[in-house]
Structure 1
Amino acid sequence: MATVSCRYTGNLHCEAIHTASGALLSTDAPIDNQGLGEQFSPTDLLATALATCILTIMGITAKSRGWSMEGTQADVEKRMTQEGPRRVESLTVNLTLPTGLNSEQRLLLQRVAAQCPVKRSLDPQIDINLNWN
């Protein structure tokens, strides 16, 4: 069975259904590529996948140790190439951890964030920067 089932609905919009849960996600082409920007673009979802994977892998690490990570924030800046084939050129993730963590906890979370499965799966041509606040 497919993990996600996707369907083109017209006017540069798509719908994706997560087959296990039935959760629905809609996309639109971005404004700078003929779309209306009414939904996440496919490349926005790539940026979202990176940020949520980082938060999830840190959450797993924190949960297994009884630490609270609630309120951790990840803001992603996506840059597309301006020349040559259109692709994601860089992803900058600005991460803010809760103030209650000590330096050892923060260091461990930074290490696991750098090893999240999405980050390890992305093309090395994409410049990925993790900034810690």
Structure 2
Amino acid sequence: MTTASVTYQGQLRTMAVHLQSNNQIITDAPTDNHGKGEAFSPTDLLATSLASCMMTIMGIKADDMGLDITGSTAEVTKLMATDPRRVAQVDVLIKAQGVISDKDKKILQKAALTCPVAKSIHPDILQNVEFVFA
């Protein structure tokens, strides 16, 4: 089954539609690459997907363990390389909420670091992940 449909709308903008839910995502080229920068760029989505996946997998593991990490956040920084232009590094700062023991922190960290997106990103892309537990 097809996951999404992406339409080029001109002026370096696309609209992606998630076919199961009909949710939409607009992308723009970044200002440093001829775009308007009015929405996520495709490379922004790659970096953001890493953090979103990590937090989702942490949420699944936390639920299995009877923990509530609602309100946890992640900050994402993407660094680009040139020649060729590509994502070189993604920094993720995860601020986990909830009452979590030291043992459970290690379990949640391992779950995050082994999420499907983290395992799918090319090994040349440096993934720096820091965890802060409330």
TM-score normalised by the shorter chain: which range applies?
over 0.9
TM-score under structure 1 normalisation? 0.96
Once the two structures are superposed, residues 94-113 of structure 1 have per-residue CA deviations (whole angstroms, 9 ceiling, x without a partner) of 11111511111111000111
Q: Can you give the 5+ residue segments of structure 2 that lack an aligned partner in the other structure?
A: none
> What percentage of aligned pairs have identical amino acids?
43
Say yes or no: does 1:37 pair with 2:37.
yes
Letter in structure 2 aligned against 1:113: A
- Give me the CA root mean square deviation: 0.9
Distance in 2 between residues matched to 1:32 and 1:74, nearest whole Å: 24
How many angstroms does 1:10 deviate by? 0.5
Deviations 1:21-67 (A, max 9, x none): 10011000001100010000000000111000000000000111211
SS in 2 for 1:17: strand
> What residue in structure 2 maps to residue 4 of structure 1?
4
Instruction: Give how far 1:80 is off.
Output: 0.1
Equivalent positions of 1:52-91 (< 5 A) are 52-81=52-81, 83-91=82-90
Structure 1 segments unaligned to the other structure (5+ residues): none
Q: How does 1:90-129 map to 2 (within 5 A)?
A: 90-129=89-128
Q: Give the TM-score of the pair, scaled to structure 2.
A: 0.95
